[in-house]
Amino acid sequence: MKYFYKNLSIWLIIGLIGIVLINVFKKPPDDVIHVNYTDFLKRIEQGVIPDIKLEGNVITWTNSNGESFKTVSPENQAVIAPLLKSRVNIEVREPKKPHWFLQIFLSWVPFLLIIFLWFFFTKQGGEKGGGGKAMAFGKSRARLIDPQESKITFKDVAGVDEAKDELVEIVDFLKDPSRFSDAGARIPKGVLLYGEPGTGKTLLAKAIAGEAGVPFFSISGSNFVEMYVGIGASRVRDLFKEGKKKAPCIIFIDEIDAVGRHRSAGGGGGGNDEREQTLNQLLVEMDGFEGNEGVIIIAATNRQDILDPALLRPGRFDRQVMVPLPDVGGREHILKVHAKKIQVDIDVNWKIIAKGTPGFSGAELANMVNEAALMVARKGDGGKVTMDIIEKAKDKVMMGAERRSLIITDKEKKITAFHESGHALTAWMLPGADPVHKVTIIPRGKALGLTMQLPEEDKLSHSKSYLFNNLCILLGGRIAEEIAFGDITTGAGNDIDRVSDLARKMVCEWGMSEEIGTITFKAASPVPGNPGPIISEATALKIDGAVKNLVNSAYDTSKKILSDNRKILDAMTQALLDHETITTEDIKKIVKENS
Ligand code: ADP
Ligand code: ZN
């Protein structure tokens, strides 16, 4: 956008300078001799003026020597007729006009205003899809990465071996498309990579391009969806046109769900027609080229469940590859890939770190390694990344940066300490809950304090008792406040949100309540405006009742734990107030000393 404005202002300046120049040259040379009106009349009487030219009330003439003269006659002759008789010298002046430059400028104002307004609106329309050039309305806005520029290969992607295995074929095809077409083999036109954010989908797509040595077009699905109907569709057309020119190549569409959402799913007001048109165009383009032209579309999403089925039909994104969160081994691999770029102390054991980071995505691991390197760089003593520093970096990635500057009153601090102790103690006492790793009352991000639990191993599914424990732990914060102060604060807002969400899912999605039983009522798509599944009023009431029962029962469980262990709760709170952060070891000691 900036670039465009710069361009525009340059053109405007050039235009203005042009106008100025034209006018300077057009202006007649000012060597006309002014004569006042009385003199003029005298000369007429004397007969020295041959013929005159009248332009409005300006009279010009040239004498026999070729000199030019000029006078201005009064507009209202009747007024000065008596004056003329008195023989006073009368000089008539032209009425003052604004400076010629100002005139030109004024005549331009409406025009400039229109340009400005046009800009203003197109800019608004354009920005919605994430910054870009207003002029390039119908242009795809895809970023092109040349094969020479990008050095990313499969080596850089760790921990997703199955996905890689499925994608080697695509690399082979891109390297030598004719080999496949000669054999009459049909290669998928579209590959859909799906998985949680940060698992390396973009990275994989880039690696395919890097391995095959082909250009890589990258665009985000949200760039297609604009305020104006038709723009998205023309962008899609343009994208495919560009792609075909550069074939063999990869076109990568990130966040395909932004355009490819299920068409009946509705979607929060406006832009719906536009999205449908864009999606249709995408389908048309995908059908419109032969699989062997050497263009492969790779799309990524973390919501493959809400995609329009039409997108997934044969001939479109018919190859779907899941990119999962890495397991322990995968995490170790990813950590090592990223550790190559930094100075690491010999005592660092990546296996242990991988064990302590279940649920981390590749992006989070990369982020953690980078944070550790930054922390070392900030110290500036030329040291290396140690286990200690990585632990700090992990906290930062998991919980956000510490906000030590936030001013907190002692009373608030005490409430937070009780609140976090409530979470931690409930977690500690419930068998089967994830072990408490660390509790802190140092504010991080939006939270005033945090209780961190770390599962002992990667979990792929959760039992009802595990989820119920989570409800209890989440409620523990609020209950501790209540027990300690007899009053409650807004600090538990987020906890309560999560409790409600989890309990509803347990009832509606996982069939974990007696009242509802094993029937699901999950919303087809959590899109605003989507009516969701049809539920009778009686069932809706039953669902609400079941959710409430679940939460109430968790509340009672947690309250019993905290009341029964009041002494430990107080001791833990005191420890937090003294040290701000306590770990598993500290809690072990506190529990032992106070029970
Ligand atoms: P996604 O597209 O799935 O949201 P990205 O590919 O954008 O995730 O990942 C962001 C960054 O995280 C990558 O640039 C890379 O540094 C790191 N990363 C993610 N997954 C992996 C992985 N499997 N191996 C190595 N690095 C990874
Ligand atoms: Zn809480």
For 407-434, the pLDDT digits (tens) are 788 888 999 999 999 999 999 999 989 9
What's the CA gap between 111 and 102, in Å, rounded? Answer: 15
- Between 206 and 460, the more confident residue is 206
Q: Is the pLDDT of residue 122 over 70?
A: no
Picking from 508, 478, 482, the residue whose alpha carbon sits closest to that of residue 496 is: 478
The per-residue pLDDT for 123 is 61
For residue range 244-272, list pLDDT tens digits in order: 888 788 899 999 988 887 766 544 444 56
334 C-beta closer than 6 A to ligand 1: yes
- CATH number of 127-264+271-322: 3.40.50.10540, 3.10.129.10, 3.40.50.300, 3.40.640.10? 3.40.50.300
What's the CA gap between 405 and 536, in Å, rounded? Answer: 52
Q: Can you tell me the mean pLDDT for 305-326?
A: 87
- Between 72 and 467, the more confident residue is 467
pTM of the model: 0.65
What's the CA gap between 322 and 462, in Å, rounded? Answer: 21
What's the CA gap between 495 and 475, in Å, rounded? Answer: 7
329 C-beta closer than 6 A to ligand 1: no
**198 — pLDDT class (breaks 50, 70, 90):** very high
Residue nearest to atom 11 of ligand 1 (CA): 363
Q: Is the pLDDT of residue 481 over 90?
A: yes
* Helix, coil or strand: residue 110: helix
Residue nearest to atom 6 of ligand 1 (CA): 200
Distance 156 CA to ligand 1 centre (A): 9
Q: Is the pLDDT of residue 192 over 90?
A: yes
- Of the listed ligands, the closest to the CA of 201 is 1
Q: Can you tell me the mean pLDDT for 439-451?
A: 84
The per-residue pLDDT for 430 is 95
- Between 23 and 475, the more confident residue is 475
532 C-beta closer than 6 A to ligand 1: no
Distance 444 CA to ligand 2 centre (A): 13
52 C-beta closer than 6 A to ligand 1: no
Cβ pair 354, 328 in contact under 8 A: yes
**Mode of pairing for the β-strands spanning 436-440 and 581-583:** antiparallel
**71 — pLDDT class (breaks 50, 70, 90):** confident
Q: Can you tell me the mean pLDDT for 570-582?
A: 93
Q: Is the pLDDT of residue 406 over 80?
A: no
Q: Is the pLDDT of residue 473 over 90?
A: yes
Ligand 1 atom at minimum distance from 330 CA: 23
Distance 205 CA to ligand 1 centre (A): 10
Cβ pair 278, 171 in contact under 8 A: no
The per-residue pLDDT for 586 is 93
Question: What is the length of the chain?
Answer: 595
160 C-beta closer than 6 A to ligand 1: yes
The per-residue pLDDT for 345 is 86
For residue range 172-186, list pLDDT tens digits in order: 888 887 887 788 777
| Interacting residues of 564 by C-beta distance below 8 A, sequence separation 6+ | none
For residue range 529-550, list pLDDT tens digits in order: 555 667 788 888 999 999 999 9
What's the CA gap between 92 and 140, in Å, rounded? Answer: 65
Residue type for position 120 = F
- Between 134 and 302, the more confident residue is 302
Q: Is the pLDDT of residue 92 over 80?
A: no
Q: Is the pLDDT of residue 565 over 70?
A: yes
Distance 200 CA to ligand 1 centre (A): 3
The per-residue pLDDT of the chain, averaged, comes to 83
- Of the listed ligands, the closest to the CA of 473 is 2
Q: Is the pLDDT of residue 589 over 90?
A: yes
362 C-beta closer than 6 A to ligand 1: yes
577 C-beta closer than 6 A to ligand 1: no
The per-residue pLDDT for 226 is 64
Question: Which tokens sit at 420?
Answer: 């976090």
337 C-beta closer than 6 A to ligand 1: yes
Question: Which tokens sit at 139?
Answer: 């242009």
Picking from 399, 320, 334, 395, the residue whose alpha carbon sits closest to that of residue 199 is: 334
129 C-beta closer than 6 A to ligand 1: no
299 C-beta closer than 6 A to ligand 1: no
Q: What is the dihedral of CA 121, 126, 127, 132, to 10 degrees?
A: -130
- Of the listed ligands, the closest to the CA of 298 is 1
The per-residue pLDDT for 6 is 61
Residue nearest to atom 10 of ligand 1 (CA): 363
The per-residue pLDDT for 135 is 42
Q: Can you tell me the mean pLDDT for 200-208?
A: 92
Radius of gyration (Cα) for the chain, nearest Å?
Answer: 38
The per-residue pLDDT for 131 is 38
**29 — pLDDT class (breaks 50, 70, 90):** low
Q: Can you tell me the mean pLDDT for 203-219?
A: 90
Residue nearest to atom 14 of ligand 1 (CA): 203
Q: Can you tell me the mean pLDDT for 325-341?
A: 91
Residue nearest to atom 7 of ligand 1 (CA): 202
Lowest mean pLDDT among 69-78, 121-130, 348-357: 121-130
Picking from 223, 219, 251, 237, the residue whose alpha carbon sits closest to that of residue 142 is: 219
Q: Is the pLDDT of residue 28 over 70?
A: no
For residue range 516-525, list pLDDT tens digits in order: 888 888 754 4
The per-residue pLDDT for 291 is 60
**Mode of pairing for the β-strands spanning 295-301 and 249-254:** parallel
- Of the listed ligands, the closest to the CA of 150 is 1
- So which residues are the catalytic ones? 420
Residue of 203, 335, 397 best suited for mutating to test ligand 1, as the one with most atoms within 8 Å of CB: 203
Residue nearest to atom 15 of ligand 1 (CA): 363
- Of the listed ligands, the closest to the CA of 420 is 2
Distance 248 CA to ligand 1 centre (A): 24
Distance 219 CA to ligand 2 centre (A): 39
- Between 86 and 108, the more confident residue is 108
The per-residue pLDDT for 129 is 40
158 C-beta closer than 6 A to ligand 1: yes
**132 — pLDDT class (breaks 50, 70, 90):** very low
Highest mean pLDDT among 27-36, 134-143, 192-201: 192-201
Ligand 1 atom at minimum distance from 363 CA: 12
Distance 364 CA to ligand 1 centre (A): 8
Residue nearest to atom 25 of ligand 1 (CA): 157
CA distances from 166 to 249, 319, 321, 503 (A): 18, 9, 7, 38
Residues flanking ion ligand 2, Cβ below 5 Å: 477, 495
Structural domain boundaries in the chain? 23-96, 127-264+271-322, 328-398, 410-594
Q: Can you tell me the mean pLDDT for 16-29?
A: 66
Distance 543 CA to ligand 2 centre (A): 26
Peptide bond preceding 110 in cis form (omega within 30 of 0): no
User: Any idea which fold 23-96 has?
Assistant: 3.30.720
Residue nearest to atom 27 of ligand 1 (CA): 362
Q: Which helix (H) or strand (E) holds 478?
A: helix 464-485
Q: Which helix (H) or strand (E) holds 284?
A: helix 272-288
**27 — pLDDT class (breaks 50, 70, 90):** low
199 C-beta closer than 6 A to ligand 1: yes
Residue type for position 479 = I
- Of the listed ligands, the closest to the CA of 498 is 2
| Interacting residues of 105 by C-beta distance below 8 A, sequence separation 6+ | none
Distance 203 CA to ligand 1 centre (A): 5
- CATH number of 328-398: 3.50.50.60, 2.30.40.10, 1.10.8.60, 1.10.10.60? 1.10.8.60
208 C-beta closer than 6 A to ligand 1: no
What's the CA gap between 242 and 229, in Å, rounded? Answer: 22
Distance 448 CA to ligand 2 centre (A): 9
- Between 339 and 135, the more confident residue is 339
**Mode of pairing for the β-strands spanning 295-301 and 52-55:** unpaired
| CATH number of the 410-594 domain | 1.20.58.760
